[in-house]
Structure 1
Amino acid sequence: MSKAPRATITIGWREWVSLPQLGLDRITAKIDTGARTSALHASNVKVIRHLGDEFVEFIVPGAGHEQLCTAPLLDTRSIKNTGGKTEMRFIIQTSMMLAGRSWPIELSLADRGAMSFDLILGRTAIRRRNLLINPGRSFLASDAIASGDQAKAS
């Protein structure tokens, strides 16, 4: 018996997302299909070891408060920043909730203090998720979730 395909949901160029494993309930993400890797604004990033495993501890600045987060270190990769300069970044994997759905994504940790968005969702995070992006609209999935009307999002 084959699995029925999920309905396609239209999202805007920016959306509210949650990263529950990091304790981040509601952050604005810019959907950026030009970026391959997703990036989360993080400061005071440091590697810690616990029982032989490596973790990354970091602070995610928020509106009015900072969130201390810890996640297993997945990898360290060379990534081009928005200016085209290559830099080494820590990579973590965490779950993300968007449009009433949840799935694992990889995030690079970067200093995005000078940027407008604390979270960039690159194409690998949204690939194969039956999402269409409307570049002229914002918060389409958020509006549909708030009203309980999934059809409004597609």
Structure 2
Amino acid sequence: MARAALPVVGWRELVHLPDLGLHNLPAKIDTGARTSSLHATVLDEYERDGEQFVRFAVDFPQQHVRQVCEAVHVDWRGITSSNGKTQRRRIIKTPLRIGDVEFRAEISLANRADMRFPMLIGRSSLRRRFVVDSGHSWMQTPGRKPVEGHKP
């Protein structure tokens, strides 16, 4: 049985978290990470209608913008970072759109202030949805010309 070709993502893309009001968020595609991660500062946790919620801020220092978001807090999970240390992180589940593909993704909230990208897309979000071409960028970013190669 022939499978339909999957869309191709580059090693970096602009992604959207529409329910959080976050659009054109620079993200690094990282098949070495299992869980996607978003740079966030947790402001508050609360319960509404029997569900746990988390309120958090996503800062864009270059634009002097702070976006305050709310999402259902679905879990706590031990996440091992690239330096080998395990952190206990909050997990939210929210729609994520890359190009024309939108799906619900599990995302850990983390301090990514020292990272170049405010968001990291892990392999759980990519699985059975995308193929990764690590030699290109912006393959699913409308209005951006795909770029070949890695230019730090």
1:117 alignment partner in structure 2: 117
Measure, in 2, the Cα distance between the counterparts of 1:91 and 1:128. Answer: 21
Measure, in 2, the Cα distance between the counterparts of 1:81 and 1:64. Answer: 28
Measure, in 2, the Cα distance between the counterparts of 1:92 and 1:6. Answer: 30
1:8-66 deviation line (CA, Å, top 9, x unaligned): 22211000100001000110110000001110000134311223321011001123301
1:94 alignment partner in structure 2: 94
Worse-superposed segment, 12-21 or 94-103? 94-103
Secondary structure at the counterpart of residue 87 of structure 1? strand
Measure, in 2, the Cα distance between the counterparts of 1:64 and 1:10. Answer: 32
Amino acid at match of 1:111: N
Measure, in 1, the Cα distance between the counterparts of 2:87 and 2:9. Answer: 30
Shift of 1:6: 4.6
1:85-135 deviation line (CA, Å, top 9, x unaligned): 111100000101112111110000000001111000000011011x22111
1:139 alignment partner in structure 2: 138
Q: TM-score, normalised by structure 2?
A: 0.86
Identity within the alignment, %:
40
Residues 5-154 of structure 1: matches in 2 within 5 Å? Answer: 6-62=4-60, 63-129=63-129, 131-142=130-141, 145-146=142-143
Higher helix share: 1
Number of positions where the alignment pairs a residue of Structure 1 with one of Structure 2: 141
Q: TM-score, normalised by structure 1?
A: 0.85
Secondary structure at the counterpart of residue 33 of structure 1? coil
Measure, in 2, the Cα distance between the counterparts of 1:123 and 1:87. Answer: 19
**Unaligned residue ranges in structure 2 (runs of 5+):** 145-152
Q: Please, what is the CA RMSD of the aligned residues?
A: 1.7
Measure, in 2, the Cα distance between the counterparts of 1:88 and 1:132. Answer: 29
